[in-house]
Every structure is written in C-alpha cells, then in structure tokens.
Amino acid sequence: MPISKATVGELISECLAVFIIITLGCSVAGMYVLYDPSPYANAYWGVCIAWGMAVTIAIYVTGAVSGTHANPAVTLALAIYRGFPMRKVLPYSAAQILGGFLGAAVVYVLFSPVIDQYNVLHHLSRAADGGAAGVFFTHPGLAITPIHAFFDEIILTGLLVLGIFAVTEEFNTMAPTANSGALIIGLLVATIGASAGYLESWAINPARDFGPRLFAYFAGWGAAALPSPGNYWWVPIAGPLIGGIVGGGLYQCLIRPFLPAHIAHRSRDVAAVLEEPARK
C-alpha cells in the first residue's frame, strides 16, 4: 500500500523533532562531559533545562504536522489510549530513531576533536573503555544495576506520559493552552532530569537512547555502545515503553473519568442517545 503524502510529512516531522532534541541535548551532554571544568559542573539544572527546551523547540517546530510524539513510548501510549492508529506506531518509531541517529551524527561533527582530546587526556579508548560515550547514550549511574535502571525507567517514563496526557487532555480545564503546552512539557522533561537524572541519565525515550547509541556503534564505540557493558542496551528501550503504558493507563483510569468537563460531555452524549428515538 503506498504511503500518503500526509503520512510522509508526519514521519519527516517526527524524524526532525528527535533530530532537534538530540542535536541540542547531546551537545549539552558534551559540554557537561568533555570539559574540565565543565560550565555545568555546579549548575546541573542548566543541563536539564537545555534538554527540556530542546523538547519545547521540537514541539513548536513540528507539532502542527505530527503532534510531536518524538518518543516511541509516547506513540505507543497514544495508540493504546488515545486512538492513534496502531499501524503508524512502527513507522513513527523508526522515524524517531532515525532522527536520533542523525542528531548524534551532527553532534559528532561538532565535538569529535574535543572527544578525541578528552580520551587522550584521560587515557581512554572508545571501544575498550567507552571513552566519552556519555555524550551520546545513557548508562547506569553510581550503584545502579541494569535491572534497577529498568524499573527506574518505567517509573520516570510513567511520570512523563502521565504529565503529557494531562497537558494534552481536552477535558482538563487546568491544562495550559495549546501555545504554552509545549513549554510545560519541556519543563516536565527538565524536572524529571533534575529529580532523577543521575540514576541512569534519564533516557525516558527509546529513540533518544537507541538512535545515538546506534550511531556511536558505527563511529568507533563498538561493543561499548552495543550491546554495552552489562548488556545494558535494552533497558532504555523496554523500560520507557512499559512506563509509557503504565503512565498513560494511570491517567486514563484514575483521572480522566472524574474530570468534570468529561462527565458533563458524557452526560450530554447519553441524553442525545435517549432523545434519538423520540425524534424518529
């Protein structure tokens, strides 16, 4: 079946959205990792804000075309709970991963001399030691095992999708208006990073991790990227996908049914159904 022009535009939009996020976000990761002293050494909130604002910019650029899922976990949750076509989940996810791959390539162009200098100064290699890998993909932090990180990612992505569902809920009278929703979602991403980013670099997005990780594999990091130490590569994929389902489900089951505007809307629908026979 041929792909419609509208669908092509949506896939380009999703690819571009993640490209923007990774180009800006992994660049700030480079500023954090590669420089000593880092401009963010005592200002970690700046790293979080940069990632969050990258998400906000991506939404403003692409939201009118595809809705800017920019995250396979969000796409899957929307398909399960919000009527997004299930047939588009895999194409959207592939476009998002491609955007992450291309964004990482641009970051590499920008920072490759600094990466090489960093590894020389610290006596590291890419493949054997994973030197400067933190510029591109996530890894467990102090005392965090892959299994612990897996559950962390479920919780953190659940919070992300719970917040996104609340911000974009048509019956939520407390949600921000459309023009400011992008800013709130960006701040949500930044807040998650500020709260728990040191655990495993707060991937909360399979495309954010796997796209750059795939690029790094081909750019010389090899086994340090895939499968990575401890076979970690699957954690930032599976954890967020499950977390998105959990977070979306929590909102749909525990909050949405009790929204006054939603209750009123359902009451009008029931009344219309009851009145229909009388009209006939």
- Residue 1 burial (10 A CB sphere; 0-12, 13-18, 19+): exposed
* Dist. CA 228–CA 234, nearest whole Å: 10
Report the chain's terminal Cα–Cα distance, integer Å: 42
* Dist. CA 181–CA 56, nearest whole Å: 9
Q: Please count the helices (runs of H) and the strands (runs of E) in the chain.
A: 10, 0
Q: What is the pTM of this model?
A: 0.95
* Dist. CA 141–CA 149, nearest whole Å: 9
DSSP type of residue 220:
I
Residue type, 40: Y
For the chain, the helix, strand and coil percentages under 3-state DSSP, each to the nearest 5: 80, 0, 20
**pLDDT value at residue 278:** 58
Residue partners of 193: CB distance under 8 A and separation at least 6: 47, 48, 51, 52, 202
Fold of 5-279: Glycerol uptake facilitator protein (1.20.1080)
**pLDDT value at residue 179:** 83
Give buried/exposed letters for 121-145 (b at 16+ CB in 10 A, else e): eeeeebeeebbbbbbbbbbbeeeee
Residue in 67, 116, 77 with CA at minimum distance from that of residue 246: 77
The 3-state DSSP class for residue 134 equals helix
Where exactly are the structural domains of the chain? 5-279
**pLDDT value at residue 225:** 98
- Contacts from 35-39 at CB under 8 Å and sequence distance 24+? 35/114
Per-residue pLDDT of the chain in tens (280 residues, 90 and over written 9): 678 999 999 999 999 999 999 999 999 999 999 998 898 988 999 999 999 999 999 999 999 999 999 999 999 999 999 999 999 999 999 999 999 999 999 999 999 999 999 999 999 999 999 999 999 999 999 999 999 999 999 999 999 999 999 999 999 999 998 789 999 999 999 999 999 999 999 999 999 999 999 999 999 999 999 999 999 999 999 999 999 999 999 999 999 999 999 999 988 876 766 676 656 5
SS3 of 168-200: the string is CCCCCCCCCCHHHHHHHHHHHHHHHHHHHHHHH
Longest dimension (CA), the chain: 83
**pLDDT value at residue 84:** 98
Q: Where are the alpha helices (DSSP H) in 86-177?
A: 89-121, 126-129, 146-167
**pLDDT value at residue 280:** 58
Residue type, 235: V
